Amino acid sequence: MDLPLNPPVEPMLAKAAKSVPRQPDGPPAWLYEPKWDGFRCIVFRDGDEVELQSRGEKSLSRYFPEVVAAVLAELPPRCVVDGELFVPRPGGGRLAWELLSQRIHPAASRIAKLAEETPAQFVAFDLLALGDEDLTAQSTSVRRERLVAALAGCGPSTHVTTATFDADLAVRWFTRFEGAGLDGVVAKPLDAPYRQKERVMTKVKHRRTAECVVVGYRPHKSLPGIGSMLLGLHTDDGMAFVGGAAAFTTARRAELLEQLSQLRTGEENVQGEKNRWNARVDDSWVPVRQELVCEVEYDQLEGYRFRHNPRFLRWRPDKAPEDCRLDQLETPTDYDLADVLSGASGSRS
């Protein structure tokens, strides 16, 4: 590969904020985009050579052969493009995080099968190089203009993200686009160059809380303590497993193991869902009496499960386990992913 920027490139990052940043007076200062909830991916194309690089600078190319083919068919012959890989739910409507996560699989035969059955797509939100030109020193506004021009007419498997200068529209997107499975809003300073690994952008993500029943735990594989605390919510049909909290200090893991061990039901090593990346991984867990309630913070749902691991906040001894029900979780209004991709929501580039 002989591009102005060759892999690896460290992607520009974002810092978290509680609200969409605004410029009260004067000309626009921010470019607002939907926050896509997929796999960050920098695409490198030099003629017939294509490399898909993850945020962690690892190659994704073998896992997404259909995206490699789409890049060859739809993107400029020599370019470096920053964006996101995603899988739409079969039949359309919203992103399918669970289907995307299944794509990282060690077996080539499984990859080929999933590439055909649940093909991924790529949405571009920054142009880092085009032809022999390195664009990273250019401002966000210039890079956006060049991105829109360079990828005009791309598709059906590659897209340019919708964007706007209007903060009020971005606030509406924050709520509306969640129904299509998106994760919030990203704001980019219009005068900023592309700075690798620096938190130049601002991200506003959905954050909610829920009271959940502790139903069990998984022992940690290498430390004395729990690896994760498994959570459930009551439904009319019984207990629904909704996810697990796993971010604890080493000392806290040991404390939780001592606390939860006293609530064991007597069952040991109940078999859980198989690990899709390594079927040999021990995924068993230990059930406990369903007496403890904890409050967790989460972002979105995938079906009736937390899309990402929730964060433990505190114990709720004032809450009865039977009152912790699935219907407490906020379900966003459905919004069609096709409208987000097409920019039919009134965005401006």
Catalytically active residues are 35
Residue 283 structure tokens: 């995924």
